[in-house]
Structure 1
């Protein structure tokens, strides 16, 4: 009789020992089914010396029931899971769960019944069936998935099956993906691009851990360069992982990838249908998935033959997970490359300050692309001082920006207006009594969305129709929208230029790949004159006729009040500026601001990125802030405000007194109420020499809290709300 130690997905238990039945073979990494009381639970076999567990006599052990028919999680992946849990002070089981991205895939292949439109045209249609026909063109999935996609009940779709409008099809869950061809459409690279590509290709050939920072100006062809490393990995039969910060960038990337390699890559993100996730996961673990393009969670999948990792737009803050396991996918990607022994490429036009510092220290090898591809020039950048160039009353676009937009319309060129604020207005109030519409679940104002006619909270999702009268004083026609969102800017453009074709691009209007694809195709075809958008349009897009970018409010990001506010503002504006003049025609950028003297605005206007980074690095060095110090946040929350405060004070009251660690707080979080929970924060600021994780565990592990209290640890925090 032998015994096995299992990592189980139960927060209260974590690790349990079991008996291995005679004739059953279990090795570390195997995924198994085991009994727990009357239930059956999932577990992963782990090296017993690496996990602590309560010792149980052998005669009391229960037997493992089944070893699931999937390859064991490889040892390097198990080491990555351990490192991530240790570094981010997260439960090991919570990190390991991300490796099992599709529970359905663990049972093996087989077939599943899906449904699709037959193409028949009915004589009469109910409104629900008509809506389903419009929404499901080209779609295929289970009845439940199609019902969610179409926004109708499952009964409506089953009725359409009976009427012959929808048909069932049998789908092989393990059908192979088309094979990418590394020689399909080899690009013509400039001398500088070829030099960088050759460096990456050699790194793939040589194998071994090799971290690169691909630092190229917007439009310099970074994607085409790292595609050559992808091609080399494919030639050698290795798998490639490309991480993108947002699903919104996927559609554009897919087209570029397919043009280069002949077929699209394999996608991995939260919006995939269950059958797609199952198929992708099994191809990944079997090694037949060649190139996987995905969001953060793709990082922990059990690749059979991983040979290269690429993190595109590596500066993006959305690579940092803000709930659950609070990890930074950029940093964990580098660690995965290290434990696997393979190259990793971080690509960005505006690298994170931490990445720049690591490159300056020689830990990353910096590869620069200083020129745009094809002779295109970087845009000219000017500052519009809103204190002297004042927009008309009730308007938000300065006269100079309006004049430049008019000139572009007359020449048949495109303009882009950037404002990183969704909706119509960030605040609605009553002019009679001053009542302000606030979210009942969060310390946040409700944002008016005129496209949908609703007031919405962007933190918890609460929505309510815009009332006809003030709920406080009852006055009618008294509600005033304060401040601009992109919808309000789009209305101003439509009023100024009634003939202009305007597209509003936000996560509200572009909430699926099909809509994004339609927008991109229209912009490339010249069917859009003015694009008004949020950060969704700041990166990844190439519109040759777009020659003007207007930043409506450059000061907005500087109000964040946190460590990276200036850095984020610089990155966003530099990225959106890079959309201008990417074709043969020169580009121009106008930055509207009330603080032209601010260091970040001055650096953007003078195109002196290096001076900005140098000043930021020196400021952080003096403050002992990351990357020269270590920060961690402790977030205490409860539905009961007094309970949350008491728990936060208890934590603060037993804070360790250490010479290289400073503990601030507790204090109410800037968003003191979020999703119905009251929140308090403590900040741990430590020198690089401090073992922050050890300090946190020794401090917090012995403490006990009421059931309703949650205590979250955020190592290397990006969000300070």
Structure 2
């Protein structure tokens, strides 16, 4: 059995031990239960809660490991021991949560003012399922002679022979090795020849070999690798920024640190910003270390998740590559955390428990005295400031690997060289694509906008199709023949008449999405082999792997994609990148709009010319004088970031100050606004503290809830958490109104 139920005699009055158990529910802390025996913190148990039964974790009594500013308020009244409910079972065959993971869960909850139980829920998804499963059972041959009445058929002989080479074996294993059916195996059991037994967890027969295929590094790469290896060999907490131009071989360099960690017998976690990137990354890992690493993301099946989780907890799995949720895995001997493309905003969890994967990766490593490597060609301003202040180490790769050179970047002024009416590709860009096709080279068109068109308008009355649940335009997806909201995922079929005035065939798409660019490219280049790469066309690592295979095998002439094409891909025959709308993302009041656009365009430009052939990047823009465009043309990322820093520093905007968003939402607009105004009246005040708002959020209606936003901004030396806790603990609660807190927000929608 996977779970041991407590016997009835243990439930007599006064018997047992008081346990603190954290459950995956939005409570302030652990709940108290009774047990017939003491259980160590980390033990997973089944407990009653109301009419439900949940998987919880025996928790530490006091979060003394948290900084004083982070500690939640002390627990309320203590329930009398005799009134406590008993736990109902212990998950005996599931590894406990290690101490450092429990401390990490407390830290994430306290930092982001989240309920610790909801953070625990992230870590419990796999073991909670494992607890409901029976452990793996196998067959062994009973001792003693075979029964005289047993007729040994060839199939039965094959089963017994298979057991001699591997015992115990599951039914599936025996059937595969012997060729006998499951009925034959059960027949031997019924005859008293075989008996069932518990199978031990499988051990890894193959381990990553740090010396399998060491690369030939340039002098610059070798120097950086040596510094990263030294950081791992310290066996102490440290953070290093590995900054390198696109194509400089950052992955091969930090693989040397991975090898050093493996030689120490410790585990490695590598975070990637998108799960679709795992295919090409794992291929490179296998070439270097001889085996493929474990993969962890939301697309895994339940069985794989359970087996991987247990292998990590028992130290049998050495290397894990995954999305941000992999931070909550129960590593037994974690020694190194790598955050690849550390600047990416996708590391921020925007729903449920809010946390930033990069920042929490650093906390996770600190709790185990491990090393951290942050890798990027365009580091975030937060990371650069930490380097300047001496908190992080810094290694730089200034040259592309081998004979590859940085691409030439040019700007197409769309005011002078724009396309024909109804088109979106400049003639200059189209001519360059044709030249590359004639030379047998590949090109890419980049537009960070999914679907066919971002807006649909009625030319008869001017009505714009809007989501009925959000203050957002409906996006046309012509291939799927739907209109979709990209915020709440509401969809409806394409319509031919205006819902406002009833005019027939009056709806026209406004602006381009990648589908529309694909359509235009098909018309302009009828002989070209086109491939679309977007999150709604490549929905799994398998689909992305197939797309990468086609590009690598030169089965594609022109790639058309969104931001998924900007991250880490290495296509040696791709020599031209055309950015359809380089100005997209510069508008609005987003604090990081310019930084984010610079990083994205610099990254997508870096896809060109990574082989021996020179690369070219062409930016279509109406804002050639913008600092982002000037910096891109000059290939001067650092100067641009220095200008950005100079603008943020005087007003103590992040990273020179602290910021928290407080979002009030309710089903009725007036209800949300009233609560937001009450909050503003009781907002914290003092030197270095400022509260902005309330104001309607840019996305004022989301999933049928009206939203108002307040921003708490402080100097860097003022802790946000106690300010927020005192402010919000006294806030009035209004029926269906909700208050959400986002510490260190990335998105301002």
TM-score (norm 1): 0.89
Query: Which residue does the alignment assign to 2:435?
Result: 407
Matches of 1:14 and 1:49, distance apart in 2: 10
SS at match of 1:33: strand
From 123, 133, 139, the equivalent of 1:99 is 123
From 16, 19, 23, the equivalent of 2:34 is 19
Matches of 1:490 and 1:685, distance apart in 2: 44
The offset of 1:174, in angstroms, is: 4.6
Matches of 1:13 and 1:63, distance apart in 2: 21
SS at match of 1:220: coil
Matches of 2:270 and 2:53, distance apart in 1: 36
Does the CA-based 8 Å contact 1:173-1:278 persist in structure 2? Answer: no
1:285-329: per-residue Cα shift (whole Å, max 9, x none)? 111111111111110111111111000111000001111111001
Matches of 2:385 and 2:545, distance apart in 1: 37
From 85, 88, 91, the equivalent of 1:68 is 91
Matches of 2:579 and 2:324, distance apart in 1: 29
Query: Which residue does the alignment assign to 1:9?
Result: 24
The offset of 1:704, in angstroms, is: 3.3
From 65, 73, 87, the equivalent of 2:111 is 87
Matches of 1:649 and 1:173, distance apart in 2: 60
1:535-586: per-residue Cα shift (whole Å, max 9, x none)? 0100121111111111111111102421110001000000000000000000
The offset of 1:175, in angstroms, is: 4.1
The offset of 1:655, in angstroms, is: 1.4
From 402, 416, 421, the equivalent of 1:393 is 421
Query: Which residue does the alignment assign to 1:318?
Result: 346
Query: Which residue does the alignment assign to 1:684?
Result: 712
Query: Which residue does the alignment assign to 1:33?
Result: 46
Matches of 2:294 and 2:125, distance apart in 1: 14
Does the CA-based 8 Å contact 1:109-1:173 persist in structure 2? Answer: no
Matches of 2:481 and 2:88, distance apart in 1: 55
Unaligned runs of 5+ in 2: 1-15, 64-73, 139-197
Q: Which sits farther off after the overlay, 179-188 or 586-595? A: 179-188
SS at match of 1:623: coil
1:89-130: per-residue Cα shift (whole Å, max 9, x none)? 1111112222223111245763499xxxxxxxxxxxxxxxxx
The offset of 1:501, in angstroms, is: 0.9
2:725 is the alignment partner of 1:697: yes
2:507 is the alignment partner of 1:492: no
Query: Which residue does the alignment assign to 2:172?
Result: none
Does the CA-based 8 Å contact 2:95-2:310 persist in structure 1? Answer: no
Cα RMSD after superposing both structures = 1.9
Alignment of 1:316-395 (within 5 A): 316-395=344-423
Matches of 2:51 and 2:475, distance apart in 1: 49
Matches of 2:328 and 2:702, distance apart in 1: 29
Query: Which residue does the alignment assign to 2:179?
Result: none
Query: Which residue does the alignment assign to 1:130?
Result: none
Matches of 2:701 and 2:614, distance apart in 1: 48
TM-score (norm 2): 0.86
Query: Which residue does the alignment assign to 1:44?
Result: 57
In structure 2, the CA distance between the partners of 1:13 and 1:393, relative to structure 1 (3 Å rule), is closer
Query: Which residue does the alignment assign to 2:159?
Result: none
Does the CA-based 8 Å contact 1:426-1:447 persist in structure 2? Answer: yes
Matches of 1:447 and 1:173, distance apart in 2: 52
The offset of 1:331, in angstroms, is: 0.4
1:159-178: per-residue Cα shift (whole Å, max 9, x none)? xxxxxxxxxxxx99954454
Does the CA-based 8 Å contact 2:28-2:116 persist in structure 1? Answer: no
SS at match of 1:203: helix
Matches of 1:173 and 1:220, distance apart in 2: 45
Query: Which residue does the alignment assign to 1:149?
Result: none
Query: Which residue does the alignment assign to 1:57?
Result: 80
Query: Which residue does the alignment assign to 2:317?
Result: 289
Matches of 1:296 and 1:335, distance apart in 2: 13
From 110, 120, 130, the equivalent of 2:135 is 110
Matches of 1:652 and 1:590, distance apart in 2: 47
Does the CA-based 8 Å contact 1:9-1:43 persist in structure 2? Answer: yes
The offset of 1:11, in angstroms, is: 2.1
Matches of 2:351 and 2:52, distance apart in 1: 29
SS at match of 1:99: helix
In structure 2, the CA distance between the partners of 1:281 and 1:53, relative to structure 1 (3 Å rule), is farther
SS at match of 1:200: helix
Matches of 1:434 and 1:265, distance apart in 2: 54
The offset of 1:643, in angstroms, is: 1.9
Matches of 1:581 and 1:71, distance apart in 2: 48
Query: Which residue does the alignment assign to 1:650?
Result: 678
2:329 is the alignment partner of 1:301: yes
The offset of 1:504, in angstroms, is: 1.2
Matches of 1:12 and 1:541, distance apart in 2: 43
In structure 2, the CA distance between the partners of 1:689 and 1:410, relative to structure 1 (3 Å rule), is same
In structure 2, the CA distance between the partners of 1:588 and 1:2, relative to structure 1 (3 Å rule), is same
Does the CA-based 8 Å contact 1:251-1:516 persist in structure 2? Answer: yes
Query: Which residue does the alignment assign to 1:158?
Result: none
1:222-267: per-residue Cα shift (whole Å, max 9, x none)? 1111111112222222111001111111111121112222221111
Query: Which residue does the alignment assign to 1:143?
Result: none
Matches of 1:529 and 1:693, distance apart in 2: 52
From 214, 217, 224, the equivalent of 1:186 is 214
Matches of 1:436 and 1:357, distance apart in 2: 43
Matches of 1:477 and 1:172, distance apart in 2: 66
1:446-468: per-residue Cα shift (whole Å, max 9, x none)? 11111111111111111111112
Matches of 1:246 and 1:109, distance apart in 2: 33
The offset of 1:707, in angstroms, is: 3.4
The offset of 1:706, in angstroms, is: 2.6
The offset of 1:434, in angstroms, is: 1.6
The offset of 1:373, in angstroms, is: 0.6
SS at match of 2:363: helix
SS at match of 1:558: coil
2:555 is the alignment partner of 1:555: no
Q: Which sits farther off after the overlay, 517-526 or 463-472? A: 463-472
Alignment of 1:95-174 (within 5 A): 95-102=119-126, 103-106=128-131, 110-111=135-136, 174=201
Matches of 1:287 and 1:624, distance apart in 2: 44
Matches of 1:564 and 1:493, distance apart in 2: 32
Does the CA-based 8 Å contact 2:21-2:31 persist in structure 1? Answer: yes
Unaligned runs of 5+ in 1: 114-170
From 602, 626, 633, the equivalent of 2:654 is 626
The offset of 1:41, in angstroms, is: 3.1
Matches of 1:607 and 1:270, distance apart in 2: 37
From 235, 250, 258, the equivalent of 1:230 is 258
SS at match of 2:416: coil
Alignment of 1:517-536 (within 5 A): 517-536=545-564
2:462 is the alignment partner of 1:434: yes
1:9-32: per-residue Cα shift (whole Å, max 9, x none)? 2324642222331xx231122222
Aligned residues: 662
Matches of 1:173 and 1:433, distance apart in 2: 71
SS at match of 1:473: coil
Query: Which residue does the alignment assign to 2:665?
Result: 637
Matches of 2:416 and 2:199, distance apart in 1: 66
Does the CA-based 8 Å contact 1:105-1:282 persist in structure 2? Answer: no
Does the CA-based 8 Å contact 1:15-1:53 persist in structure 2? Answer: no
